[in-house]
Amino acid sequence: MAETLNRSSLGALDIGSRVNLERPTAVGARLGGHIVQGHVDGTGAVLERKPSDNWEIIKISLPDDLARYVVEKGSITVDGISLTVVDAGPDYFTVSLIPTTLALTTLGLKQPGDPVNLEVDVVAKYVERLLGAAK
CA distance 12 to 119: 18
SS3 75: strand
Residues 80, 116 contacting (CB under 8 angstroms) = no
How large a percentage of the chain has pLDDT more than 90?
55
Give the DSSP H/E element, type plus range, for residue 123. helix 122-133
Measured at the CA of 90, the angle between CA 20 and CA 115, to 5 degrees, comes to 30
Q: Is the pTM of this model over 0.85?
A: no
The count of residues in the chain is 135
Q: What is the pLDDT of residue 58?
A: 97
Give the number of other Cβ atoms within 10 Å of residue 84's Cβ.
13
| Sign of the Cα pseudo-torsion (22, 27, 29, 33, in order) | positive
Domain residue limits, the chain? 58-135
Q: What is the pLDDT of residue 60?
A: 98
Mean pLDDT of 2-12: 68
11: confidence class by pLDDT, cuts 50, 70, 90: low
More confident residue, 37 or 113: 113
CATH 2.40.30.20 fits 58-135, yes or no: yes
